[in-house]
Structure 1
Amino acid sequence: MKRNKILTIGLSLVLAAGLLVGCGSKTEQPANNEQPNTQTEAPAGNNAPAEAGAYQDGIYFAQQEFNERTGWKYMVTIEVKDGKIVAADWNGAHKDAGKDKNTLSEAGEYVMVEGGTPWHKQAEVMENYLIEKQDPTDIKYLDDDGHVDVVSGVSIKVKDFFELAEAALANGPVEKGKYTDGAYHAEDAEFAEKSGWKNTVDLTVVNGYIVAAKWNAVHKDGGDDKATQSINGQYVMTQDGMPWHEQAAIMEAHLLETQDPTAIELKDDGKTDAFAGVSMGVADFFRLAEEALK
C-alpha cells in the first residue's frame, strides 16, 4: 500500500505543511519561524533512547503531506519531561483549512460510523498507549494499512501516528510556533465591483504553526466558489497560463513554509515575480492571511 509521506519542509514549496507541525533537528526556533524539518526515516545519530527515560526534554513535532485522495494530513506533538514522554497529541488538518480533526470530532462534525467511537477518542487511546510504552516502534500491526488489536475499541488505522511520533522523536525537540492553535478566517468586506468576487482565506494552526491554508473566493451571484470553478475549467484567466487554483496553491505553500504572511515581495500592482508561473495578483491572499491571524 502506498503510504502518506512525512513532509520534509525545506526551501521547496511543496504543500505540506507545520505543528500545524514538522520537527526540526535544532532545539532553537527555526529561522523566520519556519516550520521545523520532518523526515520519513530517523537520521543518523537520532534521538531514539537507548533505554526508557532517555529522551531529551522538550516539545517534538512532525507532520505529513496532504493525502491527495482524502485531503487530510496528520501531525503529532509530543512533550518530553525528565526524559520521558508525558504527553502526546495526534491531530489532523484538511487542505481546505478550518477546524482541525480533533476539534471537528469533538463537536460531532467528523463522524466515521454512526454510533461508533469518535475519532478523537480512538486517537486518545493510542496517545496513552505511546505514553505507557515510551517507544513508538513498540506496536504490531494487523495489516499494511496499520490496524491494531492491542487495545479494544480502536478501529482506525494508527500507523500514521506511530510513524510520525518516531520521526518527531528522532529529529529532536523544536520550539512551539508563535500563533495560537485554532481555525482562522478572513474575507473581503465587499464584493469587487468589477468582477463580483470576494476573496476568502482560511487557516489552521496546530502547535503554533500554520499547517493548512486555503485561498478562495465567492461570487455575488452565488454558484460554485472560485477554486471549484477553476478546477472544473469554468473559471479561466488565460488559455495558456497556469489555472487560478494552481497559482493559489503555490501561494498557500509559500505561507506554510515561511509562516509569515508578510514574507513576500510584492510589486505595486499586487503581483510577484518570486514564483515562476504565478502571474495573477496575490496581495489579497497575504493581506487576508495577516488579517485573519491578527
Structure 2
Amino acid sequence: MKKASVILSSALVLGTLLAGCGNNNEAANTAATNAPAATAAPEATTAPAADAGTEAGAYQDGTYFGTIEADAETGWQTYALLTVEGGKITKADWNAFNVNNAGDLKKKVSEDGKYGLVEKGGAQAEWHEQAAAAEAYLIEKQDPAAITVDAEGHTDAISGVSVHVNDFIAAAQAALAAGPAEVGPYKDGGYHAEGEMDAESGWKSTVDVTVAGGNVVAVKFSGLNAAGDDKKQFSIDGKYGMKAGGASSEWHEQAELAEAYFLDNKGAAPTLDAEGKTDAISGVSIHVGEYFTLAEKALEGAK
C-alpha cells in the first residue's frame, strides 16, 4: 500500500517478513503497495565469532526501530524494536506488520493460532515462540552480527529456531544504524472499525490500522458486503468494474491513493465536500470521508 520513512518520529512514522517455515493463511495474494521504505543497514548478516558480542555501554540509551522490505507475495514487513538501557540492549521485539491487510501484528496472528507454523509447516514451535528465542539470544550477545546464519538465512546457533533469522538480523542492524527514535503515542497492535451497511450500494466501509513502535505503519480502506466479500479484493479481482463505468481507475487503486494520503499526512483528513469526496487527492473520485472518520475511531482503541 504505502511508502514512508522507517525512522520513528512523532504520531505516524513508517517502519515482511520472509515466512521462514510455513505460509501465512491471512496474507493477501496481491503485491505489497503499503510498504515503508526499508531502513539502510549493513549488508553483512553472518557473524564474526559468536562470542564476540558488543562491548558494554557501546549503544546510546533509547528506543531503536528498523525494518526490511516487505515481502511482495505475503505482504509481511519485518521490523525490530530495540530498547537500550545503560548502553546495553535490554529488550528486543522481532515482529512484522502486513502492508496488504494491515490489522494484527505477526506475533498476535501466531499467538492466535492463525499462522500455523507447527500445524501447516511441521515446525517444532510456533513463529512467536521462535521469535522470542531469537530475541533472547540477541540480548545475550548484544550484537545482531553475532547470530551466525547459512546461505538461506537459517541459524544453528539458537536452539529451537528453524525459521529464517536473517531478516531479524537485518532489521536489528537497521534499527541500531538509524539511532534512537521517538516512540509514538499509540499502543502497538491492530485496530479495526466499520460503518453501517449502505442499503443502496450493499457495502459497509471497513478500516484496519496497524501500530508498531507507537506509530501507524499500515492502513487498509475496504468494505464488506452481505456475502462477506472484501471490497478491495473484489475490485482487484475485476468484479467491481469502476473503469467499465467510466472511471479513470479501479476502486482499489483509488483506495490505495487515499491510504497513502492518510499515512503521508499522519491521519489528517483532506478537505471534503458534502458527499465525502475530495479534490485534494489526485486520481481519487470515490467517497473517502468515512474512511478517515473510521480510522480515527479505530485508533481510539490504541490510546
TM-score relative to the length of structure 1: 0.81
In 1, are the aligned partners of 2:13 and 2:216 still within 8 Å (CA)?
no
Instruction: Work out the CA distance in 2 between the residues paired with 1:255 and 1:247.
Output: 13
The 3 A distance-change label for structure 1 pair 82 and 263 is: farther
Q: Take 1:35 and 1:212, find their aligned partners in 2: how far apart are those partners? A: 8
Within a 5 Å distance, the mapping from 1:105-144 to structure 2 comes to 105-114=110-119, 116-143=124-151
> Residues 18-97 of structure 1 correspond to what in structure 2 (within 5 A)?
22-24=6-8, 29-30=9-10, 33-35=12-14, 39-41=39-41, 51-94=55-98, 95-97=100-102
* Native 8 Å contact 1:15 1:65 kept in 2: no
Length, aligned pairs only? 263
Task: Report how far residue 228 of structure 1 moved.
Answer: 1.7
Query: Which residue of structure 2 lines up, in the alignment, with residue 9 of structure 1?
Result: none
Change (3 A) 1:50 1:219: closer
1:283 matches 2:289: yes
Which residue does the alignment assign to 2:2? 15
Query: Identity percentage over the alignment?
Result: 46
Kept after mapping to 1: 8 A contact 2:101/2:219: yes
Q: Which runs of 4+ in 1 moved over 6 A?
A: none
Given that 2:203 and 2:224 are in contact with CA atoms closer than 8 Å, whether structure 1 keeps it comes out as: yes
Give the distance between the partners of 1:67 and 1:253, measured in 2 at CA.
18
CA shift in 2, pair 1:223/1:85, >3 Å: closer
Distance 1:172 1:200 in 2: 36
Greater Cα offset, 250-259 or 227-236? 250-259
- CA 1:75 to 1:102, structure 2 compared with 1: closer, same or farther past 3 Å? same
Select 1:100's aligned residue among 98, 105, 118: 105
Provide the residue aligned with 1:10 in structure 2: none
Partner of 1:204: 210
Q: Which of residues 241, 245, 260 in structure 1 aligns to 2:248?
A: 241
1:220-247 Cα offsets, whole Å, 9 max, x none, are 3x15221121011110123352211121
Q: How far 1:150 sits from its partner (Å)?
A: 0.9
Stretches of structure 1 that go unaligned for 5 or more consecutive residues are 1-13, 43-48
Q: Please state whether the residue corresponding to 2:204 is helix, strand or coil.
A: strand
CA distance in 2, matches of 1:141, 1:199: 45
- 1:30-55 Cα deviation digits (max 9, x unpaired): 4x64447862236xxxxxx9844211
- RMSD across aligned C-alpha pairs, in angstroms? 2.3
Confirm or deny: 8 A CA contact 1:17 1:65 kept in the other structure: no
Please tell me whether the aligned partners of residues 80 and 87 of structure 1 are also in contact (alpha carbons under 8 angstroms).
yes
Q: What is the alpha-carbon distance in structure 2 between the residues aligned to residue 241 and residue 88 of structure 1?
A: 46
Alignment of 1:254-273 (within 5 A): 254-260=261-267, 262-273=268-279
TM-score (norm 2): 0.79
